[in-house]
Chain A
Amino acid sequence: GGIITQTPKFLIGQEGQKLTLKCQQNFNHDTMYWYRQDSGKGLRLIYYSITENDLQKGDLSEGYDASREKKSSFSLTVTSAQKNEMAVFLCASSMGQGGYAEQFFGPGTRLTVL
């Protein structure tokens, strides 16, 4: 089996601050994803990457940047944190490049902006 590690678990930032979230997977999966989950809501796709150095925008990419420099890692940057923003950011990975593949999720990073 494998595991997805997200760091940090909790992230507190100031309004306007640039914040970076990191995700590592040891499944050797091709595709990695970043989702935002607001309280009581579903998952919204921010960015995904089907291979190293590839980036694809999701439905919520504005205000975020992403980077996939290695196959095993995928980072997400909040370019300018918004006051009162509170959400959980979930990283996931899947084998291959098709949407039919099961996605494996990390435990999430909880963001609070003061």
Chain B
Amino acid sequence: AQSVTQPDARVTVSEGASLQLRCKYSYSGTPYLFWYVQYPRQGLQLLLKYYSGDPVVQGVNGFEAEFSKSNSSFHLRKASVHWSDSAVYFCALSGDNNNRIFFGDGTQLVVKP
């Protein structure tokens, strides 16, 4: 079975502060991991993805994520957030033996001015 857990439903940070959004996954095979962002009244957009290799992957708009096999995690980070980063962030998982993606419940990020 595959699953994704985002333990924080909502995270509030001040503009300019650093950010970490947590993601834990459960899968016994080789995981393919994604972070998507959803702005209000829009569909999801891909921020970054991890297939293999360097565990730290860079994405758009200064976001990066680090894969940890030992911790079954794929946390998203940003060094300095901007008010425009306020959105819902979804962590997602696929496996090497199927053709669908499993999404977490999302974390709503609120950036205070």
Beta-carbon contact of A42 and B94 below 8 Å: no
Chain B's closest residue to A48 (CB) is B100
Q: Which label, helix, strand, loop or mixed, suits the secondary structure of the A interface?
A: loop
Beta-carbon contact of A42 and B90 below 8 Å: yes
Beta-carbon contact of A90 and B94 below 8 Å: no
Interface string of B1-13 (1 = CB under 8 A from A): 0000000010000
Given contacts A97-B99, A100-B32, A102-B34, contact A43 B90 (CB under 8 A): yes
Decide yes or no whether A106 CB sits under 8 A from chain B. yes
| New A-B pairs, 13, CB < 8 Å, besides A33-B100, A40-B108, A107-B41 | A41-B105, A42-B90, A42-B104, A42-B105, A50-B99, A92-B43, A92-B44, A98-B94, A98-B99, A99-B100, A102-B34, A107-B43, A108-B41
Chain B's closest residue to A43 (CB) is B103
**Smallest distance from the beta carbon of A104 to chain B beta carbons, Å?**
8
Decide yes or no whether B101 CB sits under 8 A from chain A. yes
Q: Which residues of A contact B90 (CB under 8 A)?
A: 42-43
